[in-house]
């Protein structure tokens, strides 16, 4: 890895590295899953399930296969989602038009539009400029505590609008460059002085990116999965603005808790830094003035955010039945706004004479198509679980096993399952598995399914214990500054605290916002 004082962060290659022991575990996990999945599929098909209809029985076998593939990652997770949809048609569980229609759900296009917007910001470095601008603030005053807070804030704030993986990949080399500069400035004994602090900063980058994503519908895939399933299965639409009304306070509270937790677990002997503001300011100046591409990306981004949030503000002043709101819901729904904003990147020129525009199609296709396919597959399986009444049967079984039918008891179980599943599989797969079951349990218990569904959705973003739990964890683990034991320790504490924060926040906010 090459290093230099100038542009240090640009020379750092971000890779998701794991130890050789973990690599062997991942290899065996995939091998086992490749055989275990089909074995469970045929076993479920053979075993009698008299309480289930024929379609529900077949769907249970498909779920056994797909969930095993999701957990073990025997094949790429998006392909597992496609395979699940294909098997549902092959086995006669649903017709092709019914099954594949979910891959063209409007929320899928909200995904596509927001991903392209994020790619435009990344291509032109707008996200990096914002990060350096905040880090060069006079407020930091060369204080280690304030630098930690600023780095975490940037990671969380950017993750509100782009994926937590992209946010971490962008902040990671910046933070790493700063930390290595601190060691250079300290000289002899630097590793001993900054060892705990470095670990804390790296963990903050990853954890803040994950919790920042829950603040907006487009911040992380589980949010849109939850919104989509709630709308498709319950007929209840959660707008962009309404999501932020309850999710943004949860993000802020969780971030504050994270900050004090990291400071408690990873204290530093050095309270004041030397010349760190000058270092960051120099990096910022090297970026030069705003380029035409950055300006255009900012215009497109502000266009989207304004039209996403404006209907919510109008509802406050004019009421939810106002004529203006009906115009937005009919002509400018959130998915259409995302596509319009993304289209601006191909229309706004950076050099009109040379016919150069803000984004090229070659750059745009680099978005995460796998997540989009996984989302469509999750909607398909979730919908079929309800139409075949399989979700109801699973819900009744879980309810009798767990012995609770209260509103907030079910919500607590939903959050716990979301957190646990996200430690073993992707947060997107976790949301796809847990949300429909919790909706069914709630309906069988005669309570509102909204808080449990939201709890499962938010809990799915909390996977903090292991490098393999989520890509941000793996990215910061690759720095060599985060011992696995330190990540597990911090992750356990933060999982428990996150569970409590989500539960209490939903208990307070859901009745106030009418999410009951």
Q: What are the residue ranges spanned by the domains of the chain?
A: 1-94, 101-124+291-368
Q: Is 288 left (phi over 0), alpha (psi -120 to 50) or beta?
A: left
- Cβ–Cβ under 8 Å, residues 223 and 457: yes
- Cβ–Cβ under 8 Å, residues 472 and 172: no
- Interior CA angle at 176 toward 170 and 179, to 5°? 145
Position 348 scores a pLDDT of 93
3-class SS of residue 406: coil
Position 346 scores a pLDDT of 95
Position 345 scores a pLDDT of 94
Distance, in Å, from the CA atom of 404 to the CA atom of 452, rounded to the nearest integer, reads 13
Task: Give me the residue label for tokens 């019914």.
Answer: 98
Of 157, 115, 372, the C-alpha closest to 252 is 157
Of 153, 177, 180, the C-alpha closest to 167 is 153
* Burial group, residue 439, by CB count within 10 angstroms (0-12, 13-18, 19+): buried
Position 502 scores a pLDDT of 95
Contacts with 125 (C-beta within 8 Å, 6 or more apart), sequence order: 287, 291, 294
Distance, in Å, from the CA atom of 72 to the CA atom of 215, rounded to the nearest integer, reads 29
Contacts with 326 (C-beta within 8 Å, 6 or more apart), sequence order: none
Give buried/exposed letters for 335-344 (b at 16+ CB in 10 A, else e). Answer: bbbbbebbeb
Of 207, 214, 205, the C-alpha closest to 151 is 205
Tokens describing residue 443: 């309906």
Tell me which residues of the chain have a pLDDT lower than 70.
Answer: 1-22, 138, 182-193, 270, 273-277, 279, 315-322, 324-325, 402-405, 424-426, 467-469
Distance, in Å, from the CA atom of 421 to the CA atom of 431, rounded to the nearest integer, reads 9
Dihedral (CA of 250, 255, 257, 261) sign = positive
Distance, in Å, from the CA atom of 418 to the CA atom of 415, rounded to the nearest integer, reads 5
DSSP at 272: B
State the alpha helices, DSSP H only, in 292-368.
292-318, 323-331, 334-347, 361-364
HSE value, Cβ hemisphere, 13 Å, CA-based, for 369: 5
Contacts with 254 (C-beta within 8 Å, 6 or more apart), sequence order: 211, 497, 498, 501
Most distant CA pair in the chain, distance: 72
Distance, in Å, from the CA atom of 115 to the CA atom of 437, rounded to the nearest integer, reads 28
Position 27 scores a pLDDT of 81
Tokens describing residue 88: 């549902």
Tokens describing residue 488: 């597990």
- Cβ–Cβ under 8 Å, residues 441 and 450: no
Position 273 scores a pLDDT of 67
Tokens describing residue 189: 């004994």
- Interior CA angle at 389 toward 388 and 395, to 5°? 145
- Cβ–Cβ under 8 Å, residues 210 and 458: no
Distance, in Å, from the CA atom of 96 to the CA atom of 208, rounded to the nearest integer, reads 41
306-to-1, 71, 147, 154, 247 alpha-carbon distances in Å: 42, 38, 30, 21, 18
260-to-60, 226, 265 alpha-carbon distances in Å: 44, 30, 9
* Burial group, residue 299, by CB count within 10 angstroms (0-12, 13-18, 19+): middle
Distance, in Å, from the CA atom of 408 to the CA atom of 287, rounded to the nearest integer, reads 50
Distance, in Å, from the CA atom of 207 to the CA atom of 469, rounded to the nearest integer, reads 11
């Amino acid at each position: 890895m090459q290093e230099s004082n100038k542009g240090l962060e640009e020379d750092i290659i971000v890779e998701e590295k794991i130890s050789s022991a973990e690599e062997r575990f991942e290899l065996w996990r995939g091998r086992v899953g490749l055989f275990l999945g089909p074995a469970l599929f045929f076993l479920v098909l053979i075993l009698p399930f008299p309480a289930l209809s024929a379609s529900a029985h077949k769907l249970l076998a498909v779920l056994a296969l797909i969930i095993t593939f999701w957990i073990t990652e025997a094949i790429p997770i998006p392909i597992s989602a496609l395979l699940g949809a294909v098997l549902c048609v092959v086995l006669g569980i649903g017709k092709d038009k019914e099954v594949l229609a979910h891959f063209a759900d409007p929320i899928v296009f909200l995904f596509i539009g927001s991903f392209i917007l994020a790619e435009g910001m990344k291509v032109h470095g707008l996200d990096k400029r914002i990060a350096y601008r905040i880090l060069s603030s006079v407020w930091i005053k060369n204080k280690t505590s304030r630098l930690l807070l600023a780095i975490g804030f940037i990671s969380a704030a950017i993750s509100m609008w782009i994926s937590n993986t992209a946010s971490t990949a962008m902040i990671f080399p910046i933070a790493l460059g700063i930390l290595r500069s601190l060691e250079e400035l300290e000289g002899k004994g630097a590793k001993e002085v900054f060892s705990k602090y470095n670990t804390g900063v790296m963990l903050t980058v990853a954890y803040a990116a994950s919790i920042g994503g829950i603040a907006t519908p487009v911040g992380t895939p589980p949010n849109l999965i939850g919104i989509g399933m709630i709308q498709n299965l319950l007929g209840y639409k959660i707008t962009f603005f309404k999501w932020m009304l309850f999710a943004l306070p949860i993000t802020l509270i969780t971030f504050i808790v994270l900050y004090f937790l990291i400071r408690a677990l990873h204290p530093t002997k050095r309270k004041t830094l030397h010349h760190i503001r000058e270092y960051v300011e120099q990096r910022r100046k090297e970026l030069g003035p705003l380029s035409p591409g950055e300006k255009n990306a900012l215009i497109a981004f502000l266009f989207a955010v304004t039209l996403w949030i404006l209907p919510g503000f109008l509802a406050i002043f004019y009421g939810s039945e106002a004529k203006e709101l009906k115009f937005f819901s009919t002509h400018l729904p959130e998915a259409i706004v995302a596509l319009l904003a993304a289209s601006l990147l191909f229309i706004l020129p950076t050099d009109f004479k040379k016919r150069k525009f803000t984004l090229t199609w070659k750059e745009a296709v680099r978005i995460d198509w796998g997540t989009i396919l996984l989302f469509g597959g999750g909607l398909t399986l979730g919908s079929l679980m309800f139409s075949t009444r399989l979700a109801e049967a699973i819900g009744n079984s879980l309810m009798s096993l767990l012995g609770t039918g209260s509103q907030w008891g079910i919500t607590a179980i939903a959050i716990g399952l979301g957190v646990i599943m996200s430690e073993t599989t992707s947060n997107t797969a976790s949301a796809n598995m847990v949300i429909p079951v919790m909706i069914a349990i709630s309906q069988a218990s005669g309570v509102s399914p909204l808080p449990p569904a939201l709890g499962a959705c938010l809990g799915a973003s909390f996977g903090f214990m292991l490098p393999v739990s989520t890509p941000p964890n793996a990215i910061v683990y690759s720095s060599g500054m985060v011992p696995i034991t330190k990540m597990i320790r911090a992750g356990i504490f933060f999982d428990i605290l996150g569970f409590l924060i989500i539960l209490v926040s939903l208990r307070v906010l859901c009745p106030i916002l009418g999410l009951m």
